[in-house]
Amino acid sequence: MTDSPTTDSSTTKRPANKIRWGILGPGKIAHAFAADFQYVADGRLSAVASRSTERARAFAAQYDIPFAYGSYGELAASPEVDAVYVAVPHSHHYEAASLCLEAGKAVLCEKPLTVNSGQAEALFALAERRGSFLMEALWSKFNPVIVHLGELIASGAIGEVRRIHCDFGFVAPPDPGSRLRAPGLAGGALLDIGIYTLFLPHMLWGLPAQIDSHVVRGETGVDVQEQIILQWPGARMAVAEASLDSYYPTTGVISGTEGYIQLAAPFFAGRELTLWREGSEPRQVRREFPGKGYQFQVDEVNACLRAERLQSRRHSWEDSLALCQTMDRLRKTWGITYPGERAP
């Protein structure tokens, strides 16, 4: 990889050997990511960075990672790393991804890519200016069942799709300072789990024409429960529900004029779907894979780097921007602005 700037918006530099990955922010999701990395064919974990040297060393020892850094800046500057997985809280995605892109690293940044669409657009401009790859870690898009769902719908298996229903709810720790509830960490259901209920309709239909919603705000002021109805031209609707205060079955149902497809829970990361067509027996389709499925998004980044691309066609900058714009619209309606953020 190089850190020399380029004005070519379509390509990035190609690493010679296995792509060397660094992890920035060794928290909860970074552990799941590192555990699944053993299933990545064309990459290896080369470095990890924490705000604390001890935490970086402990994580490195657990996953046999050669380099451990006590600051994010050292990882961004490291000659041992081609691509960085950004796994800090949402509030810090923009700053951490900028640091790495500026240094010429490819970046896979946890969802949501940024807290708002203004930050997302700034990241795209930076990635383009530096010739660095950037993708939001929307791992569900690369889940084999979701990929098959896309194929089934494209083949007309359920006719014209008219309605999508997704729900995701669980009881988050009550601590007002926790990542999911603290406004300073961009807490709330929408950005953390609501994004999963929105990604399927956005994947199939793009930006909605109309959005209606109801929200419950918790003690810290962030959204803790919401029901969202989205509409697209052509009698197409989606219902998206998320909660940090009660348990939902985490299902996804896609309904069409000739049948429906039910994604087994959790709908965004499952191994099975059921296809029901009018007049036929229900058909189950399973897709087995090792681990939790975080490896597929890494495979996509590696393939893009080999193809010298700056963004993925399967989860493009435009796709991430659309999700940010929809979430901006919702937060604007709800009057939720995070500290230090101008109104979305």
d(CA 100, CA 305): 16
- Token pair, residue 194, equals 């609501």
User: How far is C-alpha 33 from the geometric centre of its chain's CA atoms?
Assistant: 13
* Residue 240 in contact with ligand NAP, rule: CB under 6 A: no
Q: What is the side-by-side order of every strand in the sheet holding 134-136?
A: 67-69, 43-49, 19-24, 83-86, 106-109, 134-136
Residue 110's CB is within 10 A of a number of other CB atoms, namely 25
Give me the least distance between CB of 270 and ligand NAP, in Å please: 13
The 53-92 contact track toward ligand NAP, x by CB under 6 A, reads --x-------------------------------xxxx-x
* Residue 26 in contact with ligand NAP, rule: CB under 6 A: yes
d(CA 215, CA 335): 11
* Residue 52 in contact with ligand NAP, rule: CB under 6 A: yes
d(CA 73, CA 99): 7
Restricting to residues 120-139, name those near ligand NAP by CB under 6 A: 137, 139
* Residue 28 in contact with ligand NAP, rule: CB under 6 A: yes
| Active-site residue, 111 included | yes
Position of tokens 């969202």? 228
* Residue 183 in contact with ligand NAP, rule: CB under 6 A: no
d(CA 240, CA 214): 11
The catalytic position among 13, 18, 105, 111 is 111
Give me the least distance between CB of 31 and ligand NAP, in Å please: 8
* Residue 192 in contact with ligand NAP, rule: CB under 6 A: yes
* Residue 226 in contact with ligand NAP, rule: CB under 6 A: no
Give me the least distance between CB of 80 and ligand NAP, in Å please: 18
The count of chain residues that interact with ligand NAP, using the rule CB under 6 A, is: 22
The residues assigned a catalytic role are 111
